[in-house]
Amino acid sequence: MGVMTRLSRHSIPAPLRRAVFGLSYEEVGFGRRGFHDGDRQVRLRLEAVGGAFLRGYHVALDEADPARVGQRLDAEPPATGPAETGSGRGIPFAYEGAAMALAILDGLPVRGGSRLGRFLDGPARRCVYTAHVGAGWALARLPRWRWRVVLRQLDPVLRWLAFDGHGFHDTYFRRRQPRLDPGYPAHAYAQGVGRALWFVHCAEIDRIAADIAGRPVAYRGDLWSGVALAATFAGGASPDALSALREAAGDCGPQVAQGAAFAAKARLACGEHVGHTGTAVRILAGCSVEAAAETTDRTRIGLRADGDIPAYEVWRRLVARELRTLAGGTVGGRHVG
């Protein structure tokens, strides 16, 4: 962090930003990460997701200006074609990576950092969910005393997605869990851990279920919600595997449905509704992508600030309850009432 402190006293040229903060594309390779080497096509798809993330991250390091970042992300072709990833052009993941880079630049020990906020209010408005997650990746790379610079720029309801992103980052990069504030931060963090397990175990349900079974019971609903979100958003599972996911989650079925619904909303908002998303939402949430997204919109109305229970968690619970009603007491063919 000493290098960051010295550099931040002056404007950092783009090549130097790349040299100091850039990440090699090898970092998202399963071999480099030590992830389970499962089905080759699934691995390639999930590695391509990481590649799209890093594309956005490096574009933001190059440009630093939020408007220019958005223009480049929307204009540049994906590094890996849709036929290989099954994930569209990778725009949601690229915006996530860009938010991480802008948040890191804001978090340097220098006054006036507001790139992230301008990005969220402008180009990233349609990918606001993944951009908030990307901000959480930055928290993992910044000293804790600089977190407030990032967190104050976030939506008051969606800010918990930053802790989700922090959890994903630490699990993906095999870092030790930090000491979090007691209460909801650890639950939001666990949701990101669950998402990362989809990558760590190459979307193999038995391995994911065994991993979650060894973790604290208090966080299992959060973990399964994250798994379902990743399965729906990033893809990589057959219909049979998605059904197995729903069965393995057991009593956490409502959280599974909620995670799938959040992924559906984020995909539609970004304009990249791909085939696997619809299949996953139907199996995990018992409805269409459009119905799931509408449920997330409707239940968020009136949620503005945190009370005794964070507004974000209230929202998650409302979505789970509404989906159960929408599915007639069943989700994915299993009774959850």
Q: Answer yes or no: is pLDDT of 111 > 70.
A: no
Q: Are 284 and 328 spatial neighbours (Cβ–Cβ below 8 Å)?
A: no
5: pLDDT confidence band, cut at 50, 70 and 90? very low
Q: Which helix (H) or strand (E) holds 330?
A: strand 330-331
Separation in Å, CA 86 to CA 97, 176, 236: 19, 32, 8
Q: Where are the domains of the chain?
A: 33-329
Residues 294, 319: Cα–Cα separation, whole Å: 10
How remote is the C-alpha of 253 from its chain's centroid? 20
Residues 46, 86: Cα–Cα separation, whole Å: 10
pTM score, whole prediction: 0.91
Q: State residue 336's pLDDT score.
A: 37
pLDDT tens column, 231-262: 999 999 999 999 999 999 999 999 999 999 99
Q: What is the mean pLDDT of the chain?
A: 90
pLDDT tens column, 305-337: 788 899 999 999 999 999 998 876 555 444 333
Contacts of 293 (CB under 8 A, 6+ apart): 261, 264, 265, 268, 269
Q: Answer yes or no: is pLDDT of 134 > 60.
A: yes
